Chain A
Amino acid sequence: MNAAIALFLMQDGVINGAIYALLGVTLVLVFTVTRVIFVPQGEFVAWGALTLAAFEAGTTPGTAWLLLALGVVTAIADVLRGEIARTPQALLRAGLRDVVLPALLVGLAVWIAPQKPPLWIAGLLTLALIVPMGPLVYRLAFAPMADASVLALFIAAIGVHFTLTGLGLVFFGAEGFRTTPFIAGVFPIGPLPFKGQSLVVLAVTAILLVGLWLFFERTLLGKALRATAVNRLGARLVGIPTLLTGRIAFALASAIGALSGMLVGSLTTIAYDSGFLIGLKGFVAAIAAGLASYPLTVAAAIAVGILESFSAFFASAFKEVIVFALIIPLLVWRSLAARHTDEEEE
């Protein structure tokens, strides 16, 4: 291996690491706000890429119908549970939000898809279809058991992952797809050629991380989310609706997941089940940071990306083994650093 290859692997690793960083940060966000270890995050990544690919192919993506189905089921479940009051106004509002809006989006997707929309319109529509799924999944699966133990919520998250992966197979089939890059071509920067899409990945990641930072530091809503993360009961006592913060956390998760999917879609082939492994690499980073620190998560994610690209070069068959086995020394380190004070869990 020479310096050029090393630099190239490094570049590759940093770009993949940027995606893992986005996912890792979202996982930390969702976990601290809702205590859900959101494994299904990976499905949104896959769906982001596959939905964009469907628009490019001129077909209506299955996620459109899925959004409508999810909206209808969630609305019915929430009415049955009494989460939506049975008054005409409340029912109307819920109907507009959970049924009519998704139906309009489906209509838009069905109308626009055969016209092969420009990439940016397809991208926006992809976001519009997938972002609402985050809060819907939260309302359907997690909100009814928001006070359960982390363990129970985690098992539920795995259940959601199982269901969403299966649905992904139904709606997109087993075939893998690649999308066209947002910016085509290769740009030499210093000694290294950069793919346009790689630059997009780095730029979007940087913008999103700064945006998240501003959101948490400068907006009331962001501060409410942080307050919920620190102390749920306290947050509720000062009037922060924890259900709302949960929905927002999940909306951020689906938004960042779908965006990441659209970004990696042109760098690697994505199939219905590819998201799981990508999301889990975000997890490795989040675990390294103890599911708590954002900057540490980003640093760890970049490290995971670099480790992955170097192990792909040296021992490509064992790439996944190396990345996931990394979790063992990480846990050892965490376990030595851990103070044993987890008593409130049941």
Chain B
Amino acid sequence: MNALLARPLLAAIVLIGFGAIPLLPLPDFWITLWCYIGLSSLVAIGLVLLTGVGGMTSFGQAAFVGIGAYTSAVLTTRYGLSPWLTLPACLLTTGITATLLGLVTVRLSGHFLPLGTIAWGISIFYLFGNIEWLGRYDGLSGLPPFSIAGHALIDSRSVFYVIWLVVLVAVVLSENLLDSRTGRAIRALRGGGQAAESFGVATHRAKLVVFVYAALLAGVSGWLYAHVQRAVSPSPFGVNAGIEYLLMAVLGGSGHVLGGVFGATVVTILKDHLQSLLPKLIGSDGNFETIVFGILMVGILQFARQGLWPMVLRLLPAPPPVKVDTSAEPLPRRPLPEAGAPLLAVDKARMQFGGLVAVNDVSFALKAGEIVGLIGPNGAGKSTTFNLLTGVLRPTAGSIKFLGQQVAGLPARLIAGQGVARTFQHVKLVGTMSVIENVAIGAHLRGRAGVIASMLRFDRAEEKRILREAAAQLERVGLREHLHKPASSLALGQQRVVEIARALCLDPAMLLLDEPAAGLRFGEKQQLAALLSQLRAEGVSILLVEHDMDFVMKLTDHLVVLDFGQKIAEGTPAAVSKNPAVLEAYLGGVT
């Protein structure tokens, strides 16, 4: 069978088979269970995006479900609105709450967010339980069911379709989102997002987007829940429920949207069985399933941190690789300054860490179309200088002008916006993403498609152009045959070259390379030198930190030598190599 058709065909069979479930002569109980699986799936999908893809976590998703459910409960019972009409209100209340909470927490490092979510999960639970207007711990009851053309969807067989239709839409929208410009930015958040930030991704905003999106999915689940259950009370929205949702996401598999649905299915069915089995075994009533759930959670983290869905995926036909359309219109290029024009001017840049002066009033300049090498022994301040230029560090004093504009102290993503691209000394690629997707992050600033456009696939024309650019840059650096491999499968030297391709995708006026030749073999170094010379000929200016003297001497037009944070010499490679101060620094004084 045609491999390209295998997946859509499988999907169609699964969908039709699934849609037939309510028509089968199964006990009602099973249909109801599947309805609850659908409701949980929505929350779990959001958590997969948040945890598995974005590298954040929330134990408070149940609270968002609660906010959605209570919003609709109040509007339908107290104001007589139709359940269909309350959806925008549910989205609004969960969205606003999530935005406020997100604004507070996304700037914090990883573990404060989940801690915060537990705390507000508890407060919201007690809030529901103590407000008279929301019926205190008894909640609100007598909610109207969904109805279509006067026909009330009370029976679980009819409401099944409503729930799973919503799940289907959520799956499609989420998959679309991940496979887009915004999606790549979100996927690049894992590992701190410093690389993404250097290519213009506003990482705080990307975190907020995925946090709010996950909350909205939970809110929709709550909205459905309210009118399926037709009553709301605080208990299903407590922290324990929040932990169970997270278990679904962890068990299903981080990074796969369908893993969320899978996790929700396994956990919901397991819970049902455990709740009837364990009390009999133990001889008293209680929520003993938490014992098993806890062990399951720790076990998954110890033995299968990627969750169980990847194991299922291995049995399915492989997804087709990202399609590259070479006929797509090329992305517009930025005008490059004329060769010889002043490009970068560093004037008395200074970086002090407490009493340590890592960079001590260093000044140098770079003209368009030049390759300048920044060299010096270990601890000379090269990397710190690099970090000042790229906005990772804010200089204590001094000025850094790029194309006449002051960039000292600007955040990395704004410096990237000026046309400065960089590579990292310690490679920063997202190992699970394919090489071409990693490189496409470099072109982030050359696209503009947002979240909604991505989810609705309005971004396809632009996406084609971005992928074409990424493929072209990979071909240029000689990695064409590795386009679709996961980045982590490449050798370290190749990964460095991938970083260069990513930097080229920004269409840079200046390229900053941090030890690009480290880990390359002789032949690869020659290819790299040839590539850099070619880029220079095209008008791209390059500043590189490098330890391989042979490489530097042959390639650069100008050298700046640092030692102990100070510039000790600069000039042509030939002049610098005879400079006594440089010899002293490198060889420790030949007497």
Contact = CB atoms under 8 A, between A and B. Distances in A.
- Pick from A151, A154, A317, A342 the residue with the most CB of B within 10 Å: A151
Contacts of A145: 301-302
B551 to A, nearest CB: 28
B294 interface: yes
Nearest to A327: B119
Interface in A228-269: none
B108 A334 contact: yes
B112 A334 contact: yes
Nearest to A319: B126
Nearest to B108: A335
21 contacts: A141-B298, A149-B110, A151-B57, A152-B301, A154-B111, A161-B294, A165-B294, A166-B290, A166-B291, A169-B287, A284-B119, A287-B115, A318-B127, A320-B123, A320-B126, A321-B127, A321-B130, A328-B120, A342-B110, A343-B194, A345-B109
Given A335-B105, A342-B110, A152 B305 contact: yes
A34 to B, nearest CB: 13
A155 B246 contact: yes
B interface secondary structure, majority = helix
Given A328-B120, A331-B112, A174 B286 contact: yes
Contact of B123 (A149, A163, A291, A321): A321
Contact of A324 (B108, B123, B301, B302): B123
B293 interface: yes
Given A145-B302, A163-B295, A150 B111 contact: yes
A222 B305 CA distance: 33
Given A145-B301, A173-B284, A283 B115 contact: yes
Interface string A308-331: 000000000110110011011001
Contacts of A161: 294
B120 A318 contact: no
Interface string B102-131: 001101111110111011101100110010
Given A37-B115, A283-B115, A335 B290 contact: no
A159 B130 CA distance: 29
Interface string B54-97: 01110100000000000000000000000000000000000000
Nearest to A39: B118
B101 interface: yes
Task: Rank and list the top 9 A-B pairs by shortest CB-CB distance, nearest first.
Answer: A163-B294, A159-B297, A162-B294, A166-B291, A342-B109, A343-B192, A327-B119, A166-B290, A324-B123
Given A280-B119, A324-B120, A37 B111 contact: yes
Interface string A118-162: 000000000000000000000001001100111110111011111
Contacts of A164: 294
Contact of B59 (A156, A158, A166): A158
A35 to B, nearest CB: 9
Contacts of A158: 59, 243, 246, 294, 297
Contacts of A152: 301, 305
Given A151-B114, A160-B294, A345-B191, A338 B107 contact: yes
A338 B286 CA distance: 42
Nearest to A323: B123
A318 B130 contact: yes
A170 B192 contact: no
A170 to B, nearest CB: 6
A interface secondary structure, majority = helix
B109 A338 contact: yes
A303 to B, nearest CB: 15
A287 B105 CA distance: 12
A87 to B, nearest CB: 25
Interface string A295-316: 0000000000000000000000
Interface in A275-298: 277, 280, 283-284, 287, 291
Interface of A: 37, 39, 141, 144-145, 148-152, 154-156, 158-167, 169-170, 173-174, 277, 280, 283-284, 287, 291, 317-318, 320-321, 324-325, 327-328, 331-332, 334-335, 338, 340, 342-346
Contacts of B105: 331, 335
B43 interface: no
A156 B301 contact: yes
Contacts of A144: 302
Interface in B291-322: 291-298, 301-302, 305
Contacts of A344: 192
B250 interface: yes
B295 A159 contact: yes
A151 B111 contact: yes
A340 B498 CA distance: 26
A311 to B, nearest CB: 12
Given A280-B122, A327-B119, A166 B287 contact: yes
A166 B123 contact: no
Given A159-B293, A159-B298, A346-B190, A287 B112 contact: yes
Nearest to B195: A343
Contacts of B126: 318, 320-321, 324
B287 A159 contact: no
A195 to B, nearest CB: 28
A345 B297 contact: no
Contacts of B107: 335, 338, 340
B281 to A, nearest CB: 10
A325 B122 CA distance: 9
B461 interface: no
B104 A328 contact: yes
Nearest to A35: B111
Given A155-B297, A343-B192, A324 B109 contact: no
- Pick from B57, B123, B243, B287 the residue with the most CB of A within 10 Å: B123
B12 to A, nearest CB: 36
A328 B294 CA distance: 28
A148 B305 contact: yes
Given A155-B250, A335-B105, A327 B116 contact: yes
Contacts of B51: 151
Given A317-B130, A320-B122, A331 B104 contact: yes
B288 A166 contact: yes
Nearest to A157: B298
A76 B110 CA distance: 34
- Pick from A37, A284, A343 the residue with the most CB of B within 10 Å: A343
B289 interface: yes
Contacts of A321: 123, 126-127, 130
Contact of B120 (A163, A173, A327): A327
Contacts of B294: 158-166
Contacts of B293: 159, 162-163
A275 to B, nearest CB: 14
Contacts of A163: 290-291, 293-295, 298
Given A148-B305, A163-B291, A324-B123, A170 B112 contact: no
Nearest to B293: A162
Contact of B122 (A160, A169, A317, A324): A324
Contacts of A327: 115-116, 119-120
B282 interface: yes
Given A151-B111, A158-B243, A162-B243, A170 B282 contact: yes
A342 B192 contact: yes
Nearest to A284: B119
Contacts of B292: 166
A318 to B, nearest CB: 6
A250 B302 CA distance: 19
A276 to B, nearest CB: 8
Contacts of B243: 158, 162
A154 B298 CA distance: 10
A148 B114 contact: no
- Pick from A141, A158, A345 the residue with the most CB of B within 10 Å: A158
A340 B289 CA distance: 40
Contacts of A345: 55, 109-110, 191-192
